[in-house]
Chain A
Amino acid sequence: MSGLAARLGFARTSTAVDQAGWGHSAFAAVICLIYFFPVLVIILTAFKEHADALAVPAKLFPTTLFGLIPERLAFTPTLDNFVNVFSRSYSAGSEAQGTGFARFFFNSIFIAGSSVVAALIIGTLAAFGFSRHPLKGNDTYLFMILSTRMLPAIVVIIPVMLLFRVTGLSGTYAGIILLYTAFNLPFAIWMMKSFFDELSPDVEDAARLDGSTDRRVFFKICLPQVIAGLAATAVFGLILTWNEFLFALLLTGVETRTVPVAMSQTIGGDIGVRWGLLAAIETLFLIPVMLVTFFLQNHLLRGVTFGTVKR
């Protein structure tokens, strides 16, 4: 993957930047750790018992490091929170019950995954169309598509709710997936179009002269060259839909509820928030999207620029 990216000049991050001195490196590391600190606290809290999570002074170390760290700053890690995410007893002494979180995690993965894939397929086709077979008023279409992305969600939420209620899409997978697909489409189209525009048409022309059909040209020549674009689009679509809260809150039912909504319902009142539990949910929820981002990182820089930086 990175070999392909380098060949196409996409992996500029590793080639075009200067080597930094030791001072810069150390400084960067410190700043990054400070920036990451709030996330680190969330992850640590996931391993704390309730009393430890509320301790003053805050217990920030999962171990005393053979007595190096004072006892009152260290806590004993526990996996209880992670178990409690999936099943716990709701009142003292009662049997542990399933919380439905396994289902919510499945929902999040299924809904975000399907809508990103759908947006990629539909968006790539449309982008290819816009790029290679321009319609009359091509730019007008493209601007209109982009402007749907500028809308405050709140403008469409009322009619979308009414629409979902009337058509019975409310609380179904189909409804929320369709909606998220529409969210991701403008970005997918703009992004993929900028990639298709940059491809050299010579190879395609040569293939056509040799008798290749349009379909063959698309699948065998164009598509393999825009893998970087597909990856970047997927990451951004995933980050957006993975954490989407407002529409999920209003349009998913008990069966199709996603993790962010379930998480907000776990918070409850001001007193008695189970921080450890909440942290465990978020930690589990963060892992998939973090992994995907890490593996597709090389394409991210180019992706975020919407193709505005020309090589």
Chain B
Amino acid sequence: MPVAIAALEPSLAFWVSFLAAGLVAMSAVVNAWGRYTGGLLVAPAIAVLVMMNIFPLLWSLGLSFFAYRADRQTMNFVGLRNYARALADPVVWDRLTTTALFVVLTVTAQMVVGFLLALLFSKQFPLRRYLLILVLTPMMLSFVAVGAFFRYYYDPTFGLVSQVASWFTDENFVLVSSTAGAVTAIVIADAWMWSPFVMLLVLAGLVSVPKHLYEAAAIDRVPKWRRFWFITFPYVKGLLMLALLFRTIEAFKLFDVVFILTDGGQRTETIALYVYRQAIQFNKTSESAALSYILLFTVIVLTNLYLYLANRRSTGVAE
């Protein structure tokens, strides 16, 4: 093994040794608690996560207190100045507003469409298996292709959307030329891509409803909408909340589709795209680190608030 390590590139050899040392140290630490097997089983997972997630996260936190650019060597401690500057920047607030708008619109659209699709698939019908795959396909497409081809569909001359629009209006239809149009375009693309995910979650809830409840309700002649509201909905609610949580977290990261579709034009630049630009194109490394920590903090606060509300509600129902 040591020979094999020596044959690798020096930097890679460093990493292999680091990983091995990390594993040994980790399992040693966990073993100290007296649970030999458990520690050993968990150690590799913890090591990978520490190396690729936790360590970069701490590094990023450290950087955010310095004035540092990736293209220069100097590094000066500035305390909280990066955070103060980010919070005072009207551009940042503007991007946050844009992101919030996207979160509300895309998540709402996904929940509604996903729920309706799930209702459609909650019954058995011929070719269901194959049709389900057709509906799931958008989720499997690459963001790049979705962005590019929605640009193709929205194209003012040969785009399908514009061609359909030309049946109704004589004017040249350019969807992405205004802010409202561009936002609509992105929301449609993103909602189309991720509604199937919500559908899968809701569907799992729908098929878990015990049949005898419906049979009992049918005997008692409970109206259909009441059956839905009092039998179906409680079974789906938990999963719907989970879908809401997952999709909200994801929507906060909205990047790829915007990047390809409008590249942030027409005031559609999301905070993720803004941070990307600051960090990668302008090399404002530490400033964007501070900004991303503000973003992370926002997501964590929102998530916990949401989980708190969801828990309080579900225990309230149980009582």
Contacts and interface: CB of A to CB of B under 8 A. Distances in A.
Contacts of B60: 155-156, 158-159
Contacts of B276: 154, 157, 246
Contact of A38 (B126, B131, B149): B149
B256 A246 contact: yes
A20 B119 CA distance: 11
Nearest to B211: A16
A29 B127 contact: yes
Contacts of B12: 167-169, 172, 174
Interface residues of B, number: 100
A178 B133 contact: no
Interface in B37-86: 37-42, 44-46, 48-49, 51-57, 59-60, 63, 70
Interface in A164-213: 166-169, 172, 174, 178-179, 181-182, 185-186, 189
B141 interface: yes
Contact of B41 (A129, A147, A278): A129
A19 B252 contact: no
A300 B203 CA distance: 11
A214 B272 CA distance: 46
B207 interface: yes
B244 interface: no
A18 B121 CA distance: 10
A32 interface: yes
Contacts of B121: 28
Contacts of B59: 159, 162-163
A243 B140 contact: yes
A297 B139 CA distance: 14
B242 A158 contact: no
A297 B133 contact: yes
A259 B238 CA distance: 37
A134 B38 contact: yes
A242 B72 CA distance: 34
A161 B127 CA distance: 47
A308 to B, nearest CB: 6
A157 B140 contact: no
A250 B6 CA distance: 28
A278 B205 CA distance: 38
A245 interface: yes
Contacts of A301: 200, 203-204, 207
Given A36-B135, A151-B53, A160-B56, A185 B303 contact: no
Contacts of A185: 45, 48-49
B255 interface: yes
B158 interface: yes
Given A129-B41, A136-B33, A163-B59, A32 B253 contact: no
Contacts of A13: 207
Contact of B255 (A57, A246, A275, A306): A246
A174 B51 CA distance: 13
B102 interface: no
Interface string A6-19: 00000011101111
B165 interface: no
Contacts of A294: 133
A154 B63 contact: no
A169 B11 CA distance: 8
B141 A286 contact: yes
B51 A178 contact: yes
B296 to A, nearest CB: 5
A179 B205 CA distance: 33
B204 A305 contact: yes
Contacts of B142: 242-243, 245, 259-260, 263, 282, 285
Interface of B: 9-12, 14-15, 30, 33, 35, 37-42, 44-46, 48-49, 51-57, 59-60, 63, 70, 117, 120-129, 131-145, 148-150, 152-153, 157-158, 160, 163, 192, 197, 200-201, 203-205, 207-208, 211, 238-239, 242, 249, 252-253, 255-256, 260, 272, 275-276, 279-280, 285, 288-289, 292-293, 295-296, 299-300, 303
16 contacts: A14-B124, A16-B207, A126-B46, A129-B40, A130-B38, A147-B300, A152-B296, A156-B60, A158-B70, A159-B63, A163-B55, A178-B52, A181-B52, A186-B49, A290-B133, A293-B140
Interchain residue pairs A-B with the least CB separation, the first 4 = A129-B41, A168-B11, A133-B38, A182-B52
